[in-house]
Structure 1
């Protein structure tokens, strides 16, 4: 990881404002707590078994959240530039994460620490509103992901992925896509061959 430095918080703050406009004092207070981290392709942003202490906003790059079983890797989500994310259960409960986060490309991330977010929420109602809306958005996205995994056949899931995240197809490996869909690379190759 390249050393931390203060972030150009423009994109992070624009995302926050899209969920809950902040009064100028809250905006400036949050800006003072943000910092940026740079990760190289392949570098772990969060390791399994460590506590997720940050909310992340991707300024540039691409990451995946995933976990391992005894036999294989399962990818839960991909996040590209313009996305805000965290490992929700670990972040909320401040307990060790069952998931890991890895940079799939060189990635610049703006971060906000858990303790700073808690302080900002206590101090500013608009921050509390932002956090509530962010958690609601994360819960809806996770429910859709789980529902899709349980209900859909692989071919349907592949086509839904193409519709929702088509541009990412050029940026992720086929192995990662197969892992995300919960299928083997051989099955993915068959699905892709059926046009």
Structure 2
């Protein structure tokens, strides 16, 4: 994520505990609701129009969230190992998503379903606190992403991406990077040629 507002953690429960320290019984209850899913490179994790029913934690691999407008792809985010993601509005409201999620690499994800998280939040205050903080941070992160798209020039956005997500450059295509920055590949090539 931009600026890594979400702290990187080795596993789902560590990530949860970084936002809200879980008591042993809450941790055990949440652990019992987690499950793993694997996706092959190029496989859709969520298709636009479907309801996002899960929060995901990336154990390994890389995914992107994106949408199409006028047959052009716009990438909102990349998520790599040790990060958590969902399509926020679809997950919260349980309504069809305008975004898709695609595995850019083979992925191993840990998941929890919406209804399970809602039930756990009612049963355990510390899990409710985690959920509230996760949603708040996701909203802040999205606002920051939208704000930076509106005010940054492409060259500044590119250098910001390098600084904050440079390790991803070897893992994503130039087409995806250009889409994320909201520019053409030709413009990206020009920016990259400037020393």
TM-score range, shorter chain: over 0.9
- Matching of residues 53-68 of structure 1 within 5 Å: 53-68=53-68
Q: Which runs of 4+ in 1 moved over 6 A?
A: none
Structure 1 residue aligned with 2:29: 29
What SS does the corresponding residue of 2:56 show, helix, strand or coil? strand
Gaps of at least 5 residues in structure 2 are 1-9
Structure 1 residue aligned with 2:16: 16
Q: Indicate yes or no: 2:79 matched with 1:47.
A: no
What SS does the corresponding residue of 1:50 show, helix, strand or coil? coil
Structure 1 residue aligned with 2:164: 164
How many Å separate the matches in 1 of 2:113 and 2:71? Answer: 34
Deviations 1:48-96 (A, max 9, x none): 0000000000000000000001230000000000110100000000000
How many Å separate the matches in 1 of 2:115 and 2:132? Answer: 16
Q: How well do the aligned residues superpose, as a CA RMSD in angstroms?
A: 0.7
Structure 1 residue aligned with 2:96: 96
Deviations 1:83-113 (A, max 9, x none): 1010000000000000000000000000000
Instruction: Give the alignment's TM-score, normalised by structure 2.
Output: 0.94
What SS does the corresponding residue of 2:32 show, helix, strand or coil? helix
How many Å separate the matches in 2 of 1:98 and 1:33? Answer: 27
What SS does the corresponding residue of 1:140 show, helix, strand or coil? helix
How many Å separate the matches in 1 of 2:125 and 2:149? Answer: 36
Deviation at 1:34, TM superposition (A): 0.3
- Matching of residues 34-183 of structure 1 within 5 Å: 34-183=34-183
